[in-house]
């Protein structure tokens, strides 16, 4: 059996999507995948980062994580994206990364990549689902194979029941995750690897 190559590409300002990416890494590794975790470049000015202690703390925490590149997408059989919502869309940092992949798209190197996505917001109806669907629209242009979790495991219900991709609410009081999504994230990662195994196996 061929080993699935999975890259988890995330953007996180205060650490929520970073934690989700790490859980996805655990789940995918348990499913036998070769996994890379990559962050997209930060676009915000240092003054904005410094004005938010949690943002500054996570920025420092993640400084040694390698930034995502087109090479990572070309290398991967499967991709999991994780991004906070910004007005119902992906964060600008993630959007710029996607927009810079025109060369890969134009040469057909995004076709048949197996893709799944996760998101977060600061309130339960703050745009998580719209953000994931927006990202999936870009993946349709890529010719990717979209793998949502649906309701394929009970863990999804405990995490809030989002069938498009795991999403979580970040508490406005202390920045913690309101829902318990660890099991759902790991299931989504394993499901992505499972489908990718079938795709690359022909």
What's the pLDDT tens digit per position in 127-179? Answer: 999 999 999 999 999 999 999 999 999 999 989 999 999 999 988 878 888 88
Q: Residue range 44-58: average pLDDT?
A: 94
Summarised one tens digit per residue, pLDDT across range 21-40 is 999 999 999 999 999 999 99
Other Cβ atoms closer than 10 A to 45: 9
First-residue to last-residue Cα distance in the chain: 11
Assigned token pair, 125: 């109806």
What percentage of the chain reaches a pLDDT higher than 70? Answer: 100
What's the rounded Cα separation, in Å, for the pair 148 and 111? Answer: 17
* pLDDT over 90 at 124, yes or no: no
Q: What pLDDT is attached to residue 2?
A: 85
Summarised one tens digit per residue, pLDDT across range 176-194 is 888 899 999 999 999 999 9
Q: What pLDDT is attached to residue 24?
A: 98
What's the rounded Cα separation, in Å, for the pair 45 and 56? Answer: 11
What percentage of the chain reaches a pLDDT higher than 90? Answer: 89
What's the rounded Cα separation, in Å, for the pair 22 and 69? Answer: 19
Going along the chain from its start, the domains and CATH numbers come out as 5-200 (3.40.50.360)
Q: What pLDDT is attached to residue 60?
A: 94
Inter-residue contact 167 to 132 (CB < 8 Å): yes
Q: What pLDDT is attached to residue 69?
A: 98
Give the burial string for 168-200 (b: 16+ CB within 10 Å, else e): bbbeeeeeebbbebbbbbbbbbbbbbbbbbebb
Q: What pLDDT is attached to residue 172?
A: 81
Q: What pLDDT is attached to residue 176?
A: 87
As a residue count, the chain comes to 202
Eight-state DSSP code of residue 74: H
Q: Which residue has the higher pLDDT, 123 or 71?
A: 71
Pairing verdict, β 89-90 and 5-10: unpaired
The contacts found for 86-91 with CB under 8 angstroms, 24 or more apart, are 86/127, 86/131, 87/127, 88/127, 88/130, 88/131, 88/134, 89/127, 89/130, 89/131, 89/134, 90/11, 90/131, 90/134, 90/135, 91/11, 91/13
CA of 11: how far to CAs of 16, 154, 186, in Å? 9, 27, 18
Average pLDDT over the chain, rounded to an integer: 95
């Amino acid at each position: 059996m061929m080993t699935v190559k999975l890259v988890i590409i995330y953007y996180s300002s205060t650490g929520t999507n970073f934690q989700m990416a790490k859980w996805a890494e655990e789940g995918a590794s348990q499913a036998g995948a070769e996994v890379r975790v990559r962050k997209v470049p930060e676009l915000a000015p240092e003054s904005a980062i410094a004005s938010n202690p949690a943002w500054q703390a996570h920025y420092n925490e993640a400084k040694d994580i390698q930034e995502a590149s087109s090479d990572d997408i070309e290398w991967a059989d499967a991709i999991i994206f994780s991004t906070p919502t910004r007005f119902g869309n992906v964060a600008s940092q993630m959007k710029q990364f996607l927009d810079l992949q025109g060369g890969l798209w134009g040469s057909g190197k995004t076709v048949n990549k197996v893709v799944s996505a996760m998101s977060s917001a600061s309130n339960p109806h703050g745009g998580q689902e719209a953000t994931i669907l927006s990202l999936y629209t870009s993946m349709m242009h890529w010719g990717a194979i979209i793998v949502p979790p649906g309701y394929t495991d009970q863990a999804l219900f405990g995490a809030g029941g989002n069938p498009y991709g795991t999403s979580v609410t970040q508490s406005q009081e202390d920045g913690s995750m309101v829902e318990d999504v660890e099991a759902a994230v790991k299931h989504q990662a394993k499901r992505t690897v499972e489908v990718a195994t079938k795709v690359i196996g022909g």
